[in-house]
Amino acid sequence: RDEASTAGAIALQPVLYCSDGCGAGGQGHAGAVPSVGASEQLNNAERHDVDLGRLNTFGVPARAVRLFDLRDTAGFELLAAAVKESTRVLVLGSGSNVLFARDFGGLVVRCRFKEIKVSSLGGGKVEVAAGAGLSWDWIVRYCVQRGWSGLENLSLIPGSVGAAPIQNIGAYGVELSSCFSWLEALDLQSGELHRMGPGECCFSYRDSRFKSDWRDRFLVVRVAFHLGGQSPATDYPSLQEELSRAGVTRPTAHSIRQAVIAIRQRRLPDPARVGNAGSFFKNPVVDAERLSMLRKEWPELPAFETGDGYYRVAAGWLVESCGWKGIQRGSVGVSENHSLVLINCGNARGHEILALATEIEVSVKERFNLRLEREVRVID
Ligand code: FAD
Ligand code: EPU
């Protein structure tokens, strides 16, 4: 359905409004889309000197000079004016993949669109277009409940629909790009709305064009997926184990969702209880030659083929081998269940988490001569 892509500006399509409590609050980790409190009721609300503490899942304190919540298309002009007045702009979703190392001296923009439009593609397949402000896990559950397969492996990932394409979210053998159709994004410089297909988004492992030259230039307002008809993706080792433990012989979207939720609840800390942003680092990608050199010294080093002759080395193993798993340093630490997850043990400041991340990076570089790339976006 790439024919819908266009480099030019487009008009908004009419949508069906979803009325059964989707979006803020949601379910799963931290309610996924934190509430903004009293001004939640206001349309296209702009606020000044805003506390970001509840708007990031690390739960670190930070303030922003201004925050603009875009709730409908009527807010486009107001938002454009606010952007023009600001020297720095930061696009924020639910704050589950950011670390505020200090206050943000500019305008924070969030899209709170919460509508859903479903179109039949024939043959039991559908296209679901969802507002950027919906909770990601809410839309996954909505689709799985209706038997529209494709998103189930991505169950319980915290965050908003609008942020999902930014790093091409992935889990348990599936990436968003496998069922992505298009997105609509507001160009914050020109005020124009664009529709973009997969080619323009340049998806790869935990990456897209929105993480480089399009960062903070485009506000994603709507994302569309093509669902139904996919065969279940059950190759990921821990997912296979979980399904056989549960006695599932013919996996469905529903049983895969249940299995993924069970693994995640065991392995990853719930940000509602322990501040964190999931994996702080990406898995380094190496070629076959580099992998065999590493394995001469560390034969047990886990690595997974990416399919194009490269291998993804398990960063969790690298970090654990350096002795970081489960450590606590004052108010910051590393999860005892997963060594890629840095945690706020209570009252941590962003710069303390950043200092720990830097120490971990240095130790992995010294021991393995591998550079850990951050997945979490550090705002400093
Ligand atoms: P934010 O953290 O607010 O923003 C992330 C980035 O997206 C920022 O660069 C921001 O500028 C940009 N952005 C946000 N919204 C928009 C928008 N509307 N338009 C343009 N840019 C925008 N990720 C995975 O891929 N797989 C996992 O398995 C996974 N597990 C996690 C587990 C836990 C416990 C946690 C806390 C995080 C996990 N994550 C995982 C990371 C995170 O959930 C995802 O990256 C998620 O998509 C971030 O959504 P968000 O709304 O919180 O975005
Ligand atoms: N491992 C360890 N120690 C650890 C953690 C992992 O040795 O503490 C090794 C084990 O060998 C394990 C392997 O790493 O078999 C893979 O572990 P896991 O299945 O947890 O996957 P991961 O590569 O560590 C990635 C994503 C997660 C995603 C899971 C499931 C990255 C950076 N992280 O973790 O995403 O949920 O796979 O697909 O790619 C996130 O992005 O925030 C995130 C949580």
Which residue puts its alpha carbon closest to atom 43 of ligand 1?
A: 158
- Confirm or reject: Cβ of 162 under 6 Å from ligand 1: yes
- Confirm or reject: Cβ of 158 under 6 Å from ligand 1: yes
- Identify the residue whose tokens are 């509602």: 272
Q: What percent of the chain has pLDDT over 70?
A: 89
Residue 95 CA to ligand 2 center (angstroms) comes to: 20
Number of other CB atoms surrounding residue 62 within 10 Å: 22
Ligand with an atom nearest the CA of residue 302: 2
* C-alpha to C-alpha distance for 350 and 344, rounded to whole angstroms: 9
Q: Which residues have C-beta within 8 Å of that of residue 92, sequence separation ≥ 6?
A: 55, 98, 108, 109, 110
Tell me what pLDDT residue 6 has. Answer: 27
Residue 155 CA to ligand 1 center (angstroms) comes to: 14
For 245-278, how does the pLDDT look when each residue is reduced to its tens digit (9 = 90+)? 999 999 999 999 999 999 999 999 999 999 999 9
Mean pLDDT within 199-209: 98
335 is catalytic: no
SS3 for 342? strand
SS3 for 341? strand
Mean pLDDT within 58-72: 97
The one-letter amino acid code at 351 reads H
- Confirm or reject: Cβ of 178 under 6 Å from ligand 2: no
Range from 27-36, 54-63, 211-220, 313-322 carrying the lowest mean pLDDT = 27-36
For strands 89-91 and 104-111, give the pairing. Answer: parallel
312 CA closest ligand 2 atom index: 23
Which residue puts its alpha carbon closest to atom 19 of ligand 2?
A: 238
375 is catalytic: yes
**Residue 174 — φ and ψ, nearest 5°?**
-130, 140
- Confirm or reject: Cβ of 278 under 6 Å from ligand 2: yes
Range from 42-46, 237-241, 290-294, 374-378 carrying the lowest mean pLDDT = 42-46
* C-alpha to C-alpha distance for 5 and 183, rounded to whole angstroms: 9
Q: Are 204 and 106 in contact (CB under 8 A)?
A: no
**Phi/psi-derived region of residue 268, left when phi > 0, alpha when psi is between -120 and 50, beta in every other case:** beta
Ligand with an atom nearest the CA of residue 271: 1
Q: Please identify which of the residues 112, 206, 257, 264 carries the catalytic annotation.
A: 206
Tell me what pLDDT residue 341 has. Answer: 98
The yes-or-no verdict on residue 84 having pLDDT over 60 is: yes
Which residue puts its alpha carbon closest to atom 28 of ligand 1?
A: 171
Label residue 230 by pLDDT band (50, 70, 90): confident
Provide the sign of the torsion angle of the four alpha carbons 239, 245, 250, 256, taken in this order. negative
Beta strands, E only, 154-196: 170-171, 174-175, 180-187, 193-196
- Confirm or reject: Cβ of 91 under 6 Å from ligand 1: yes
- Confirm or reject: Cβ of 280 under 6 Å from ligand 1: no
269 CA closest ligand 1 atom index: 34
Ligand with an atom nearest the CA of residue 222: 1
Tell me what pLDDT residue 154 has. Answer: 98
Tell me what pLDDT residue 45 has. Answer: 79
- Confirm or reject: Cβ of 238 under 6 Å from ligand 2: yes
Mean confidence (pLDDT) of the chain:
90
Residue 317 CA to ligand 2 center (angstroms) comes to: 9
Q: Which residues have C-beta within 8 Å of that of residue 362, sequence separation ≥ 6?
A: none
Q: Which residue has the higher pLDDT, 17 or 184?
A: 184
For 105-157, how does the pLDDT look when each residue is reduced to its tens digit (9 = 90+)? 999 999 999 999 999 999 999 999 999 999 999 999 999 999 999 999 999 99
The yes-or-no verdict on residue 68 having pLDDT over 90 is: yes
Range from 25-39, 72-86, 289-303, 311-325 carrying the lowest mean pLDDT = 25-39
Ligand with an atom nearest the CA of residue 270: 1
The H or E element that residue 51 is part of is: strand 46-51
268 CA closest ligand 2 atom index: 44
For 155-170, how does the pLDDT look when each residue is reduced to its tens digit (9 = 90+)? 999 999 999 999 999 9
Q: Are 22 and 142 in contact (CB under 8 A)?
A: yes
Label residue 43 by pLDDT band (50, 70, 90): low
Mean pLDDT within 15-43: 35
Cα–Cα distances in angstroms (integers) from residue 185 to residues 24, 28, 131, 166, in the given order? 20, 26, 11, 11
- Confirm or reject: Cβ of 316 under 6 Å from ligand 2: yes
CA 337 to chain centre: 20
Mean pLDDT within 178-183: 98
The H or E element that residue 199 is part of is: helix 198-201
Q: Are 378 and 354 in contact (CB under 8 A)?
A: yes
206 is catalytic: yes
Residue 359 CA to ligand 2 center (angstroms) comes to: 20
Which residue puts its alpha carbon closest to atom 39 of ligand 1?
A: 278
- Confirm or reject: Cβ of 279 under 6 Å from ligand 2: yes
* C-alpha to C-alpha distance for 343 and 76, rounded to whole angstroms: 37
DSSP-derived secondary structure letter, 113: -
Angle between helices 237-245 and 253-267 (to 10 degrees): 110
Question: Ligand 2 pocket test: which of 317, 324, 339, 373 has the largest number of ligand atoms within 8 Å of its C-beta?
Answer: 317
